[in-house]
Structure 1
């Protein structure tokens, strides 16, 4: 009876432990789409290669304030020195590469799309959460205004 009870207890503990999922491996999605309303920062076109890079700012300005300092020049003219201060936004670099036509833009239908992040949502998110979400998907695409999806790679830029 004691052996049966110990066996049952061990089996129950194993079953309970197997149901706990790590947050990191909870979901590995196929495709993530990010709306991009910006023009490329850099664009290189070769005979058989196209490379575009974009800079996406994540979050919104905080502690933004305007300081105005008035001065009077020796000739009696009033001038204003305006200084904008604030914390810089975290930025990610998005790189699109098409070599020998192996990564051509694809027309997509936004209505039937899942896993879509708008540019407005990027302004209200944090850099750490955004990078974690990106890591949960196998493919990341940016979508331009003509509904063309381009498969990209994303890297975090160091803050200044």
Structure 2
């Protein structure tokens, strides 16, 4: 999952599978916006570490971080979903796309999504889908610029 290597120039972006050591940086990025600030608790990493262990052992889960000059600057979670619809098609779901505040506006989000689409294609997916909170209007425009189309109305039910 790495797009860089040990020979990668210091200013080049590397996308790699997340490790347990990345959990604090990932959670900090998840909490670094108005919605995340209300949902996340970076002071208590226990639940995140337990969730990471479940994600890490599931071969259909691809939680990655983007690093620039050795610093974690982005993350996303790609899930591969086998299905029966669309003639037994496998699809990919992109979630939890975040870019560190210092790197926003640098094109990193585009590079992360491009990585995810290429990885989904490599894994045999025929469709890539994502969801974005209804209040994230700027994110919606971003995804549309990258070729995504608003096609469904989503619903959620809180269980706890």
Taking structure 1 as the reference length, the TM-score comes to 0.22
Higher strand share: 1
Higher relative contact order (CA closer than 8 Å, sequence separation 6+): 1
Between structure 1 and structure 2, the one with the greater Rg is 1
Higher helix share: 2
